[in-house]
Amino acid sequence: MSLKFPVHQKDVTKSVKPEHMVPWVPKASWDGWFAIAILPPANEIKWCKAHLFHRACRPGWHPLIAVEGMDEKSEMLITWGSADRVQVFRQEVNADGIKASTSPLRVELDERFELKGSPPRYDMIFKLPEEGAEIAFDLEAGWPIWWSHWGRLLSYVGQHSSVRVSPSAGRAERNLVGLGVVEHVYGASLPFQFTRYTPVHYHWDVLRFDGGNPLDSAAGLSVGIRGKTVLRLKAAARLPGLPQKAVSGLEIKYLDISSTKGPDGRSVMLPVRWEGSMSGSWGNLSYEARSTTPPALVIPSGGMLGFEFEGELTSPVEESARVYGTGFTEYGDLSGKLKEFIARSTQTGVDQS
């Protein structure tokens, strides 16, 4: 039985102001800016993500966001995935020269990064000229989700948006239209490498629903131990035909897995097919997802990939409705043993190809 994290609607959906998007360093010990695009199934490119991470903590300390693979150096990441390949451009950068203002909203790092706009409109550009890669996001925010709101200890806000994204690495793709997420996160660090002593795994799904309002979407985060969800941490959704809602979190069950070698040579579990569910006073969303892209292996014993899903909305007062669409997932396995636990629970073994 998984535990439900207490959800308070006004905390989860609190509006985002320009001061929430500018750097918190030196009050916090690190900052990160993220942009995601999830595209309709007809597109060759299924998803895009980019981030700028500014590490400003003391030597030997480790930022809480190390669980997502950002730890020992400031960096920029540009990545996207299609059905047969994933592009990953990642490089250490000197982020000490970040400049920012709230009126007008602007965050800049040399020629590499720019965030500007007036909410709800944001433009974000990430450039790695050494890699010949860049990506631009034109976002119009629709609704927010605060994953955490604990000041400089850890604050993490995402805004679900409509997006036009233009990734470029040799060949440019222009103005791909889909669901976007623009995020800012900042927080504290610890004086030891805590990821070594945290035997958990986590799974974050973002769903883009087809056939309705372009902002119809959902996102949920689950934390598990030994292959089973134990904490349905937090989730929010704007479901087809319903206003935005806070929900009780995400529960995940892996149905089919594979594996590959990670950058460090260790085996990494790949989700192939899984079930997810989120619930609230309005009813329940359950879905089955199937991966559609290779993974970007940029997270400790995990990665990022795209998926398609089909599911059902059930309500105590209305007829159930079928839903479908595309999505983006991030998953990490700090225990390093997730695939073994899943293989035992499904009794299907693990494809080692």
Q: Token pair of 79, please?
A: 């990545």
Neighbouring C-alpha atoms within 13 Å toward the C-beta of 254: 32
Amino acid at 8: H
Contact 61, 73 (CB under 8 A): no
Measured distance CA(228)–CA(57) in Å, rounded: 34
Measured distance CA(66)–CA(113) in Å, rounded: 21
Comma-separated ranges of CATH 2.40.370 domains in the chain: 198-346
Measured distance CA(173)–CA(184) in Å, rounded: 25
Please name the residue that has the structure tokens 């105590």: 316
State the DSSP code for 351.
Answer: B
Mean pLDDT of 55-69: 95
Q: What is the reported pLDDT for 353?
A: 33
Predicted confidence (pLDDT) per residue in 71-97, tens digit:
999 999 999 999 999 999 999 999 999
Measured distance CA(120)–CA(332) in Å, rounded: 31
Contact 314, 283 (CB under 8 A): yes
Measured distance CA(314)–CA(346) in Å, rounded: 27
Q: What is the reported pLDDT for 9?
A: 42
Mean pLDDT of 139-157: 94
The count of residues in the chain is 353
User: Is-cis flag, bond preceding 120, omega within 30?
Assistant: yes
Per-residue pLDDT at 131 exceeds 70: yes
Contact 297, 268 (CB under 8 A): yes
Q: What is the reported pLDDT for 66?
A: 95
- Local confidence band at 104 (pLDDT 50, 70, 90 cut-offs): very high
- Local confidence band at 352 (pLDDT 50, 70, 90 cut-offs): very low
Please name the residue that has the structure tokens 């945290």: 198
Contact 138, 120 (CB under 8 A): no
Per-residue pLDDT at 3 exceeds 90: no
Q: Which residue has the higher pLDDT, 244 or 325?
A: 325
Mean pLDDT of 102-111: 95
Per-residue pLDDT at 2 exceeds 90: no
- Local confidence band at 12 (pLDDT 50, 70, 90 cut-offs): low
Q: Token pair of 103, please?
A: 């009126």
Predicted confidence (pLDDT) per residue in 278-292, tens digit:
998 888 999 999 999
Report the DSSP beta bridge partners of residue 177: 164
Q: What is the reported pLDDT for 119?
A: 82
Per-residue pLDDT at 128 exceeds 90: yes
Per-residue pLDDT at 301 exceeds 90: no
Measured distance CA(164)–CA(189) in Å, rounded: 34
Percentage of the chain lying above the pLDDT 70 cut: 93
Q: 198-346, what's its fold?
A: AttH-like fold (2.40.370)
Q: What is the DSSP string of 162-185?
A: EEEEEEEESEE---EEEEEEEEEE
Q: What is the reported pLDDT for 242?
A: 78
Q: What is the reported pLDDT for 5?
A: 36
Per-residue pLDDT at 47 exceeds 50: yes
Per-residue pLDDT at 233 exceeds 90: no
Beta 217-225 vs 3-4: how paired, if at all? unpaired
For the full predicted model, state whether its pTM sits above 0.75: yes
Neighbours of 44 (CB within 10 A): 10
Measured distance CA(189)–CA(147) in Å, rounded: 18
Q: What is the reported pLDDT for 141?
A: 94
Average pLDDT, the chain: 90
Q: What is the reported pLDDT for 346?
A: 62
Per-residue pLDDT at 199 exceeds 90: no
Per-residue pLDDT at 28 exceeds 50: yes
Ranking 21-30, 177-186, 337-346 by mean pLDDT, the lowest is 337-346
Amino acid at 67: V
Residue 98: phi and psi, rounded to 5, are: -60, 135
- Local confidence band at 294 (pLDDT 50, 70, 90 cut-offs): very high
Per-residue pLDDT at 201 exceeds 80: yes
CB within 8 Å of 40: residues ≥ 6 apart: 177, 178, 208, 210, 326
Percentage of the chain lying above the pLDDT 90 cut: 69
Q: What is the reported pLDDT for 21?
A: 96
